[in-house]
Structure 1
Amino acid sequence: MASAAESRETLCGKLGLKPLTSHNILFYYAPVQGVLSYTALSINVMNPSLVLRIFPKRDITNILLFNTLLGSGLYLYNRPHLALLPTKERLLYSSFGAVTFSLGSVLIWAIVRSLVPQNVALCSICGVGSGLAMLKIATSYAEHADSLVAKKG
């Protein structure tokens, strides 16, 4: 008979999830949650009225931005190209990358929003599509930087 831990690992594996360890929570699940918040932030910036209909009593922009910053910062902090740096520098560089990426995205969405006709579906598609494209570019860049460190070592 399988133990409870083995059953959880098997279930996690089948679902494509990582086991719940402190490392995975910080450097896998928090970045995944950051991507979800980033995607919601793209919709929020592109369609503020849509989000207000869903959350009429509270502006969730700062919550989404905080979660995006946390997830992207932890993602960068754990990358191999920063691994050999002292902790203070890793924190500085990962924080800078997270803030630059997130606020740069908000600025891009604000510009796109001013250019796209005010159609809820079109704005949502443009926001999510451009967000996914920027996420792909950012992760490809991080992987490229990591590969340079791997080649050096």
Structure 2
Amino acid sequence: MASAAEARASLCGKLGLKPLTGQNILFYYAPVQGVLSYTALSVNVMNPTLVLRIFPKRDITNVLLFNTLVGSGLYLYNRPHLSSLSTKERLLYSSFGAVTFSLGSVLIWAIVRSLVPQNVVLCSVCGVGSGLAMIKIARSYTEHVDSLTSKKV
């Protein structure tokens, strides 16, 4: 008979999820949550009135940006190409990468928003589409840089 822990691990595996360990929470689930926040941030920047209709009493921009920074920073911190550095350097480089990526994206979305007709659906599609494209490019780039090092995750 399988134990409860084995049953949970089996369920996680079937769902494509990793078991809840400290390592996985920091370097798998936090980056996944960062991607979700980043995607919501793209809609928020491209369509601020839509988000205000959903959350009328609170501007969630800073919450989404903070979660995006944490998720992308932890993703970068755990990459093999940074693993040989000191903790201080890893924090510095991963923070710089997270801030540059996130604020660069916000700037791109602000520019795109000024060029796209003010249509809720079109702005949302442009925001989410460009956000997913930038995530794909950033992930491919970090995987390429990681491939240049001998250490693997």
**Shorter-chain TM-score above 0.5:** yes
Residue 66 of structure 2 corresponds to 66
State the Cα distance separating 1:150 from its structure 2 match.
2.5
Q: TM-score, normalised by structure 1?
A: 0.98
Residue 55 of structure 2 corresponds to 55
Do residues 127 (structure 1) and 127 (structure 2) align?
Answer: yes
SS in 2 for 1:71: helix
Distance 2:142 2:150 in 1: 12
Distance 1:32 1:39 in 2: 11
Do residues 32 (structure 1) and 32 (structure 2) align?
Answer: yes
Do residues 14 (structure 1) and 26 (structure 2) align?
Answer: no
Code of the aligned partner of 1:46: M
| Per-residue CA distance 1:78-101 (angstroms, 9 max, x = gap) | 000000000000000000000000
Q: TM-score, normalised by structure 2?
A: 0.98
Residue 101 of structure 1 corresponds to 101
State the Cα distance separating 1:132 from its structure 2 match.
0.4
Percent identity among equivalent residues? 87
Residue 80 of structure 1 corresponds to 80
| Per-residue CA distance 1:97-123 (angstroms, 9 max, x = gap) | 000000000000000000000000000
Code of the aligned partner of 2:39: T
SS in 1 for 2:150: helix
SS in 1 for 2:149: helix
Unpaired stretches in structure 1, ≥5 consecutive residues: none
Distance 2:133 2:47 in 1: 19
Across the two proteins, how many residue pairs are aligned to each other? Answer: 151
C-alpha RMSD of the superposition: 0.8
Unpaired stretches in structure 2, ≥5 consecutive residues: none
